Homo-oligomer: A and B are copies of this chain.
Amino acid sequence: MNDVKARRKMRNVTRLSEIGEFPLIARLVRALPTEDGVTVGPGDDCAVVECDGATLLLTCDAAIEGIHFRREWAGAEAIGWKSGAAALSDIAAMGGRPRFMLITLACPPEEDVAFLEALYHGLAAVAARCGAVIVGGDTARSPSGVMVDIMIVGEAAGPRILRRTGARPGNLLAVTGRPGQSAAALIALQRGMDPGELAQAHFHPVPRILEGQWLAAREGVHAMIDLSDGLLQDAGHLAEAAWMAVDVDPDRIPISDAMRRLVEAAGEDPAAVALAGGEDYELILAVDPADFDAMQGAFQDRFEVPLTAVGNFTAEWQGARVRGAAPEKAGYDHFKG
């Protein structure tokens, strides 16, 4: 034991990296009081509260330079769009309607004003695309790098707000669109290849706002979450929230020809990218199999986007598996990294 470690031990200091993100959150929120107006507290995509007679969905999402984005990989406008999309997608995941955004923007004094304007333009553009407006925020000085924090107030779009808890044994795991396209584009960019039509999925992902509202209105949908960390990890969150397991079949994930060609040309496995790739902002849901076929056709007709069953929920074990086998790598942790 070296000196530093010995000193820490004596002072009884626990570093965040020793416990990780989810135990930290559990420690922070365990002593929080609550009140009658709080329908959903910490732990879901949004908090849901009753305020002055209204049902509100509240969420916030930070994007920090060097952690969540690097300017070598994306222009300022795309960084703003992607950061806003990540936050707006949390409202989509519960079937809500985003209305108002506050933006906290922290940066060093030597920052280029044009970069900040372009980033803000991207934020305003994705807000407008999703029916929301920026109504205020805060500007602050940061010691280094740009930090954006996005807070959204949404409202219930119908009588039902869909939580991540609620999946039942025998439910199907369904996914909107074609997951993995953002990750596939990134793989191409990192290898100096042209991502072609997948660039849109990476630089300008569009949160599934109307799709989320439509799905939340269907009785056969029992739980929903957006794809931010990757299909397998987020499916695990749905399972875990219901004290269950989920078994994913990668062969059933819809993969476009363009993505397959690009990922194979880069020497990677398209199914693995579809399973692990994050930042797609598609939705995944737990659906009653008796309702799925009719829902699938109606969804495709309404949005011209596929809705595909890619796995099953079961109470027979815990966690997320791939065709019955535990995946090699556990989920990403921001602090254990």
Contacts and interface: CB of A to CB of B under 8 A. Distances in A.
Contacts of A34: 133
Given A15-B109, A53-B53, A59-B102, 20 more contacts: A14-B114, A16-B116, A25-B139, A28-B117, A35-B133, A41-B135, A42-B134, A42-B136, A47-B135, A49-B135, A51-B100, A52-B53, A52-B54, A58-B100, A59-B136, A60-B151, A64-B106, A140-B334, A141-B337, A149-B149
A156 interface: yes
A157 to B, nearest CB: 10
Contact of A52 (B16, B55, B133): B55
A32 B34 CA distance: 35
Contacts of A53: 52-54
A111 B15 contact: yes
A335 interface: yes
A140 B62 contact: yes
A329 interface: no
Given A16-B107, A113-B27, A124-B32, A138 B52 contact: no
Interface in A139-191: 139-145, 147, 149, 151, 153, 155-156
A61 to B, nearest CB: 5
B145 A16 contact: no
Contact of A56 (B37, B51, B156): B51
Contacts of A335: 109, 141
A108 B64 CA distance: 12
A38 interface: yes
A13 interface: yes
Contacts of A13: 112, 114
Q: In the A-B complex, list the 4 residue pairs whose CB atoms are closest, starting with the nearest.
A: A52-B54, A54-B54, A17-B109, A47-B135
B21 A58 contact: no
A5 interface: no
Given A117-B28, A133-B32, A58 B102 contact: yes
A67 interface: yes
A329 B151 CA distance: 35
B110 A15 contact: yes
A148 to B, nearest CB: 10
Nearest to A34: B133
A247 B53 CA distance: 43
30 contacts: A13-B112, A13-B114, A15-B113, A16-B107, A24-B116, A24-B139, A27-B113, A27-B117, A28-B105, A29-B134, A32-B134, A41-B136, A43-B136, A49-B135, A49-B153, A51-B54, A51-B56, A52-B155, A53-B54, A56-B153, A60-B136, A61-B104, A62-B138, A66-B143, A67-B143, A106-B147, A139-B334, A141-B334, A142-B147, A149-B149
A121 interface: yes
A99 interface: yes
A302 interface: no
A326 interface: no
B60 A100 contact: no
A46 interface: yes
Nearest to A131: B35
A113 B19 contact: yes
Given A104-B62, A116-B24, A133 B51 contact: no
